[in-house]
Structure 1
Amino acid sequence: MTTLMPIFTTTSQDCSFLQAGPARTLYERLLQPELDANALQEARSFLDEQLVQARALPCEVPTQPEALLEWMRGGAQRTTEAYGQYLQERRQGAPRRYFSNRAHALYFLRHVAPTKLVDGAWLYGLLRHWQELRLRPLLRTYLEELGDGVPAMNHVVLYKQLLAQHDCDELAELDDSHFLQGAQQLALGHLAEDYLPEVIGYNLGYEQLPLHLLITSFELTELDIDPYYFQLHVTIDNASSGHAQKAVQAVLENLPLVGDRDEFYRRVLRGYQLNDLGVGSTAVIAAFDLEDEVCAMLERKREVATQVHSDYCRIEGRTVNEWLSEPGQVRAFLDALQKRGWIRRDEDPQSSRFWQLVQGDRAAMFGVFSSYEQQLLHDWIAGSWAPPRARGRHRRRAAPAVAEQAAGLDDEAQALHAALRGLPAQQQADKLIELMSPASHFTPAGLLATRLFNAYLQ
């Protein structure tokens, strides 16, 4: 059993055609267990640039902090009313608003993964100040993002399992823009002491209940994809006692009594606006084009499959190796397969000879395509075709994987307890906080450290 789960995985063939951009490079540097001074300086420069960009964006937050609670509750009410309207439309026969098919939903899960895999990271740096009561709402929020150390509730563990369940955890080809929000969160978390107002403002924005979270949860269930990660956020971000309420409480309790109160609040608003930078969830959903995704996936496969096919089969006068010999021919190749009847669009994919080569234990190309890639091909071929009976709805939880990870805590638990016994009280707290970083809180040692740290906040 692997006890240390990396944030995301790549393969050599995935990396061969990609150059990591600045956001991803910083994201990966800030996800190391130990950071050097250069990484922190890089994070500071990046964050300052982001705040300059955010300043130009519109801001819906009240100009007076005393109005925040009413604003937050009003926003939550509008969200629930809009969701009620959505449900009514669906009952009257409207199609899904977000996901055209299962492949679309899996595409979404992949492309928002860099953000979801650092859930709560913006609050990490506040742990060192656990004795300050005014920070307690924020600290409680961070610990709840970590599931209070329970594997089955840790948000990163849950999301990693969701990705793995659908073979979506290869993120190497994602565009750099999809790492920007995660890089912001990590930078805020590691520099929280210098950017406290911005951290509080970012938290205020991120913890409001958005309509897309409710719709996503509903439509994932329809597509037989476990919605639990998203349902969990619907409940804990509530405006009554959840993270949304704690976010407002944190703003009000941290406004200075001595000093420039207005400047502090202006910085809170800038932090809030950071939420609007980068590619958000609804933008990811809107960007999906199934045929483009299929072609891009096959183009990546082409780079490692140019000369591995036999030459006995010709399609439109060319061998498969000839079709794959140069970039940019994938779309024409798919057209040729359709002309020859190898692919029958808008029909059951089982009717297509090409699909029969891809799917099944005895398929000639078994193992060439991941489950996610097969879903892309399946839904592209199926098109407007739908099975006679809709997929059954059932929610699949990854309980066995969670239990297995929990069982692996024993060795690390003993080692951590032994290490703590040899440290003074303050260094014990520091050791626990170190293990609760975005780079390690989801590991067995990090989960145990979170449970032990909970005692400090009782």
Structure 2
Amino acid sequence: MTALTRLQSRPAHEQAFSAAGSLMQTYEQLLLGDNAQPLARTFLQAQLQQAADLPQEMPEDLSALQCFVEQHFAEVARQYADYLKARKAGGGRQFFSNKAHALFFLQAVAPTKLVDGAWLYGLLQHWRDPRFDGLMCTYLEELGDGNPAQNHVVIYRRLLAELGLQDSGVIADEHYLQGAIQLALGECADEFLPEVIGYNLGYEQLPLHLLISAYELAELGIDPYYFTLHVTIDNASTGHAHKAVQSVSQLMPLEGDRDEFLRRVALGYRLNDLGQGSRAIIESFDLYGEVLSMLERKRPFGQHMHSDYCRFEGQTVNQWLSVPEQLPGFLTALENKGWIKRHQDPQASRFWQLIEGDGAAMFGVFSPYEKQLLHDWIAGEWTPECPPPAYRRSNQDAVEPVLPLSDPDVQSLQSALKGRAAAEQMQVLIPWLSAQRHSHPAGLLATRLFIELKSSLR
């Protein structure tokens, strides 16, 4: 789903968690899910301590919760209307300065998007209890009800593949925080049920950045479907935001400590505010800095691969690439030599011609994202006379792919289900609905079977 973002940008809240190493390592261990509960518990406790120091936005009065959510949606709608008015009056994009900027954002938020809904996974064990229906419905809809064309992780993974954004090595460690929180909540859902409910309540509110991102991605020729899908599904009337409000009262203790329950719900709500949010990620983009970082990642592999035929300001390419401190000077030397012509059509630059086009000498050296960085940096203030058309989904985009029944995991799942009673089959199916598995063919099949069995066993 979409992380709750305030209407105004705010600084990230730094995290300190060293029990399991980096956030990426924690994320990956939780995603694998093998004996992950101790790690999940320790990690969550550390994050909840951080969240306790953040300001409280959720109203203390439960009866005011629905009104609070509706007011938030109304304010987001008003601000988005102002945005559209400014754009129609000729104003420029407010989020993405160029396509490379958009690709940077899509890659940075990938660790969160690729575990979409994971915080609710642990509640599937309560499939017989109607009090959990709203939360369970939310999770199953995140999984597309087993339809790969609607499964949120499948959609985002396909988007990354289409854009060539599959190199997780360029994602900053801090961008794994929210995904790790979601995985940890899903792993310890029963123990941290109030926090799961609160996190879900915060995450399912429609943020302004989601609407603007979808609009500007389409302008840049990028499929915004993942984002537009969440605009509709998270509505406060009947969608996930509404179900999130209902779940608070439905799972409130009747005779237990209700104040403590709500305190923990509010604490879980604040988990959404940890780390660098979408707005902060967008604002952190520095095109020149990203170009230099990209070239530094490639420098060790290219420093001995060039001939000594060409020299720039007295040095060969290999000499320029021998130490990282020289990369800014190397780019300047390429400009001085006329190989890079800033603020012009990149096609006019000899350096770009070596990278892109028929017979390009360095064809395949740079990934699509890396090429976009170089293209947009060279282009600078230059804009084409005819901008590329905005993205438009076709009917073909919505065609449901056929599940590969010959897939070995699908066959293994079908074999495991044979001869078992319906209730036993549910226990076989649930692990396939985890964040690691549900977007794979067997996971998609398991989701559909889970929904069918759940309905028949009620």
TM-score interval w.r.t. the shorter chain? over 0.9
Q: 1:107 to 1:167 in 2, by over 3 A?
A: same
Q: What letter is aligned with 2:47?
A: Q
> Cα deviation per residue 1:243-273 (whole Å; 9 max; x = unaligned)?
0000001111111111100000000000000
* Residue 127 (structure 1) aligns with: 124
**Cα shift at 1:279:** 1.2
- How far apart are the structure 2 equivalents of 1:83 and 1:209? 11
* Residue 153 (structure 2) aligns with: 156
Q: Does 1:364 align with 2:361?
A: yes
**Cα shift at 1:227:** 0.3
> Cα deviation per residue 1:5-50 (whole Å; 9 max; x = unaligned)?
xxxxxxxxxxxxxxx9521111101111x512xx321211110010
* Residue 192 (structure 1) aligns with: 189
**TM-score, normalised to structure 2's length?**
0.92
- How far apart are the structure 1 equivalents of 2:398 and 2:346? 32
> Cα deviation per residue 1:324-349 (whole Å; 9 max; x = unaligned)?
01122111100111111110000000
**Cα shift at 1:391:** 1.1
Aligned length: 435
Q: Does 1:408 align with 2:404?
A: yes
Q: How high is the sequence identity, in percent, across the aligned residues?
A: 57
Q: 1:97 to 1:111 in 2, by over 3 A?
A: same
Q: 1:83 to 1:330 in 2, by over 3 A?
A: same
* Residue 27 (structure 1) aligns with: 27
Q: What letter is aligned with 1:28?
A: E
**Cα shift at 1:195:** 0.2
**Cα shift at 1:421:** 1.7
Q: What letter is aligned with 1:408?
A: P
- How far apart are the structure 1 equivalents of 2:395 and 2:156? 10
- How far apart are the structure 2 equivalents of 1:373 and 1:422? 52
SS in 2 for 1:199: helix
> Cα deviation per residue 1:69-96 (whole Å; 9 max; x = unaligned)?
1110111011001100000011111110
| Counterparts of residues 7-18 of structure 1 (less than 5 Å) | none
* Residue 257 (structure 1) aligns with: 254
**Cα shift at 1:169:** 1.2
- Which runs of 5 or more residues in structure 1 are unaligned? 1-19
**Cα shift at 1:242:** 0.5
- How far apart are the structure 1 equivalents of 2:354 and 2:399? 35
| Counterparts of residues 327-338 of structure 1 (less than 5 Å) | 327-338=324-335
SS in 2 for 1:179: helix
SS in 2 for 1:31: helix
Q: 1:151 to 1:395 in 2, by over 3 A?
A: same
Q: Does 1:352 align with 2:349?
A: yes
* Residue 372 (structure 2) aligns with: 375
RMSD between aligned residues: 1.6
- How far apart are the structure 1 equivalents of 2:188 and 2:174? 22
Q: 1:400 to 1:84 in 2, by over 3 A?
A: closer
* Residue 4 (structure 2) aligns with: none
Q: Determine if contact 2:149/2:398 at 8 Å carries over to the other structure.
A: no
Q: Determine if contact 2:403/2:441 at 8 Å carries over to the other structure.
A: no
* Residue 237 (structure 2) aligns with: 240
- How far apart are the structure 1 equivalents of 2:303 and 2:394? 39
SS in 2 for 1:334: helix
> Cα deviation per residue 1:297-346 (whole Å; 9 max; x = unaligned)?
01111011110000010001100000001122111100111111110000
- How far apart are the structure 1 equivalents of 2:275 and 2:88? 34
Q: What letter is aligned with 2:355?
A: V
Q: Does 1:343 align with 2:340?
A: yes
**Cα shift at 1:407:** 4.0
SS in 1 for 2:197: helix
Q: What letter is aligned with 1:35?
A: D
> Cα deviation per residue 1:216-248 (whole Å; 9 max; x = unaligned)?
000001000000000000000001110000000
- Which runs of 5 or more residues in structure 2 are unaligned? 1-19
Q: What letter is aligned with 1:30?
A: L
- How far apart are the structure 2 equivalents of 1:218 and 1:423? 49
**Cα shift at 1:401:** 11
2:420 to 415, 420, 423: 423
Q: What letter is aligned with 1:29?
A: Q
- How far apart are the structure 2 equivalents of 1:243 and 1:284? 25
SS in 1 for 2:384: coil
**TM-score, normalised to structure 1's length?**
0.92
